Amino acid sequence: MKKLTTVILCMLLVGISSYSQKTSKNFANKGRDWYISKTTGSGQLGTKERPAKDLGNIIHHLKPNDRIYIAEGTYMSKGKRGSDEINVPVKIYGGYDTTFTTRDPWDKHKTIFTGVNEYMKLTTPRIYIRTDQQRESNGQKSEGSVIIVDGIIIDNGPRNRYHHDKNLAIRRQASPKSGQNPSPESGGIVIVGSKYTNIAVQNCVVMNTAPTEGAISVRVFKGGKGIIQNNFCINNTGYGIQARTGYVGSDKNVTPKFVIKYNTVLFIWKHDAIASYGGDGLALDQNLVASVENNVFGFGHMGGIYSKGADLTLNNNLFTGNSKYDYKEINSKMKVEDILDESEKLNPYSDGNESLLIKIPVAEKWARIYASRIEMSRAAVDAAVSASNSGANQLRSMLGMNLQGNSVKMDAEVFLPLLTIEEGLPAGLLPWNGKGSTMPKSK
């Protein structure tokens, strides 16, 4: 396994903001600047002097390589539908004041993307950028360009359906009678690029999402690069961060390459109370190269990192409070101190990873709720099922049919309890031993 050298890392960091030489005509558009302000916006001109009111209102105007600047405020998308889908490569920057002169995305000028839980509202990812289906005039798929999402706070709490409206446990089914949607089974920021497309997600917060996939999910195709840095993921199901590949070849020159660094991922839940999947801070596909460094992966209901066989280098990451393992490589589970000895895929030059007890400055009220949860498993639920001696079962026994088991409660009373931005964000502002996310620099 080859080492991902410093030279390659530098090239990746510099190259993410530049167009690929493979960028096709459709994606070579120069692009324009758009401005959005919940407070001062109106109409669809989207200029600095006359900004639009919501990203959802101007999506149909967007062209490849447009740049979108979003001021402070709470955004619910067009018609409060709670999801924005964009099908061209764009750059999105949040955290500005209403004059677009200063920027402070995690403090003074938070740009918050959320929605409402109403029946028939969208349940797709809150920010969903997908360019892999766009085509040129000759019918070939478009390639290249750059996608960036920077400085956005995703809070799916208001989009979720909670049991008895107590904010303690989500429900994944809709309730048409009460006019409630299911909790969206989708990530907060999901990006699927085209071939040779560079993608960056940085300085973002994602919380209260309930996906099977990643709360932040980035899929890079042939010849593309991905950077996921200085993000804070807290209280989500599935995976906190998911690095995915759309490439199935063997040419290492065009294998997707990721740098994943200085992120904090905490309290990642399984998909549901008895699921055996999800619950990892970071998940990586097989056909990709990744350098994972200076991150914090804590309190995963399964583990810290789950690699399906990626060409992976791990340096200076902190693991804490993970239930089953710190690192899982295909089917092998390891604690952090055993990774270098037992891994078969990891770059042997990996170093500096540690396990450490840390104090997390999350709200005490929420911490007490989290601590009161009851762990459930499929095996325990299956073991609790017994066949009742009902008349129906007596008849089924006489006929040689399988008996019907009694019902067993499978929903936890505490599962992904609502965590507000004020309660959770302090845990993402300061690093531990130089590891994890920090407050983005204001401008």
Residue range 198-221, pLDDT digits in tens:
999 999 999 999 999 999 999 999
CATH of domain 6-361+416-428: 2.160.20
State CA 92 to chain mean position distance: 16
Higher pLDDT, 93 or 403: 93
Dist CA 69 CA 47 (whole Å): 10
Over residues 125-130, the mean pLDDT reads 98
State the average pLDDT for the chain.
90
Which pLDDT belongs to residue 373? 87
The mean per-residue pLDDT over the stretch 183-202 comes to 98
User: Could you report the per-residue pLDDT of 353-408, keeping only the tens digit for each?
Assistant: 999 989 899 999 999 999 988 876 545 544 444 444 555 554 445 445 555 555 44
Q: Hey, what's the torsion of the CAs at 227, 215, 80, 412, to 10 degrees?
A: -170
* Residue 20 pLDDT: 63
Q: For 282-313, write each residue's pLDDT tens digit.
A: 999 999 999 999 999 999 999 999 999 999 99
Assign 421 a pLDDT band (cuts: 50, 70, 90).
very high
Segment 145-167 shows an average pLDDT of: 97
For residue 396, what is the enclosing H or E element? helix 391-398
Give residue-wise pLDDT tens across range 109-119. 999 999 999 99
Which phi-psi region, left, alpha or beta, contains residue 9 (left: φ > 0; alpha: ψ -120 to 50)?
alpha
Average pLDDT (43-67) is 98
The single-letter DSSP state of residue 103 is B
pTM for the predicted model, two decimal places: 0.90
In percent, the amount of the chain with pLDDT more than 90 equals: 82
Q: What percent of the chain has pLDDT over 70?
A: 87
How far, in whole angstroms, is CA 128 from its chain's centroid?
Answer: 11
* Phi, psi for 330 (deg, rounded to 5): 60, -95
3-state per-residue secondary structure call for 123-191? CCCCEEEECCCCECCCCCECCCCEEEEECCEEECHHHCCEHHHCCCEECCCCECCCCECCCCCCCCEEE
- Please give the biggest Cα pair distance in the chain: 80
**What are the angstrom distances between the C-alpha of 344 and each of 18, 341, 348?**
35, 9, 9
Band the pLDDT of 236: cuts 50, 70, 90: very high
